[in-house]
Amino acid sequence: MKMRMALSAGVYLWFLILILIPAITMVEGALSHGVNGFFAQVLQPEAVSALRLSFLITALTLLINLPLGVITALLIARRSFPGWQVVNAVVDLPFALSPVIAGLALLLVYGPNTLLGAFLQNHGVKVMFALPGMVLATLLVTFPLVVRELVPLLRQLGLRQEEAAWTLGASAWRTFWLVTLPRIRFGLGYSAVLTIARALGEFGAVLVVSGNLVGVTQTATLYVYQATENNDLQAADAVSTVLALVSFVILILMQVFKGRGEGRIS
């Protein structure tokens, strides 16, 4: 009993030191000049532009990652093509790489001084130091989240209901929409929330490929970084608080989707 109480106290103390105190300090900094001062910082043109860009990149990442993630997860879970083991291993590669290295890898392929990058730029497509490169970098670091959430779920659910639908004459496309998708919807929702959280907070890969141009390619996390470098701590705290509030809502959604998904399986 004493050991359990000591362990619990240690966990709460660690939570207090690592999360609660820094979070309270950040909010206090954001409100150091009152609520009006907080909104004045958040509504600065540079801050609004950075937040808008972060939300845009997150939305585009989600729209691309969800269908690609579902397709990849189905192929891996069903083991329906030769070499699925290789794809299964490669999916985890972004987990093993630093986001900075991931951004550098994209820069070495699509940079303006590379063969492919120069070709695209000569045809009016600018990838690096523009929105496409930032979306690519965010896609790279978030892609495994959808796949790794859905593969175990698909394997646990099995193929019985899909096979029954095929036996009754349903096409593969109709079976997916009417049988497979409803069964994985909570897992898909959970992976979508994970993707949103990761995309909003991405820093390293985006920093390398964006150029951090104020009002052009500066995301919210880059804005916080720049404000901290300029010793404008209230601006950094204000935008960080907005991101923290969004993350808190995302955390609640994660728990809802996770709970419902586990309830459906059980």
Q: And the tokens for 197?
A: 């959280």
pLDDT at 258: 67
Segment 105-111 mean pLDDT: 91
pLDDT tens per residue, range 59-94: 999 999 999 999 999 988 887 677 778 888 888 888
Do 103 and 216 have their domain in common?
yes
| Domain, as residue range, for 1 | 1-30
Do 9 and 43 have their domain in common?
no
Task: Measure the CA–CA gap between 7 and 21, rounded to whole angstroms.
Answer: 20
pLDDT tens per residue, range 124-135: 889 999 999 999
Per-residue pLDDT at 54 exceeds 90? yes
Inter-helix orientation angle 131-157/99-110, to 10°: 120
Instruction: State the residue for tokens 């009152």.
Output: 34
pTM higher than 0.85, yes or no?
A: yes
CATH number at residue 156: 1.10.3720.10
pLDDT at 40: 92
Residue type, 150: L
pLDDT tens per residue, range 198-252: 999 899 899 999 988 888 999 999 999 999 999 999 999 999 999 989 888 887 8
pLDDT tens per residue, range 135-155: 999 999 999 999 999 999 888
% of the chain residues with pLDDT over 70: 95
Do 20 and 123 have their domain in common?
no
The phi and psi torsions of 175 (rounded to 5 degrees) equal -65, -40
Q: Hey, is 99 helix, strand or coil?
A: helix
Do 87 and 192 have their domain in common?
yes
pLDDT at 4: 78
pLDDT at 161: 86
- 163's CB contacts (< 8 A; 6+ apart) are none
Do 133 and 42 have their domain in common?
yes
pLDDT at 61: 95
Do 244 and 157 have their domain in common?
yes
Q: Hey, is 16 helix, strand or coil?
A: helix
Task: Measure the CA–CA gap between 22 and 238, rounded to whole angstroms.
Answer: 14
Do 133 and 5 have their domain in common?
no
pLDDT at 232: 92
pLDDT tens per residue, range 158-194: 888 887 888 888 888 888 888 888 889 888 988 998 8
Per-residue pLDDT at 265 exceeds 70? no
Do 56 and 170 have their domain in common?
yes
Do 13 and 55 have their domain in common?
no
Do 193 and 83 have their domain in common?
yes
pLDDT at 264: 56
Q: How many domains does the chain have?
A: 2
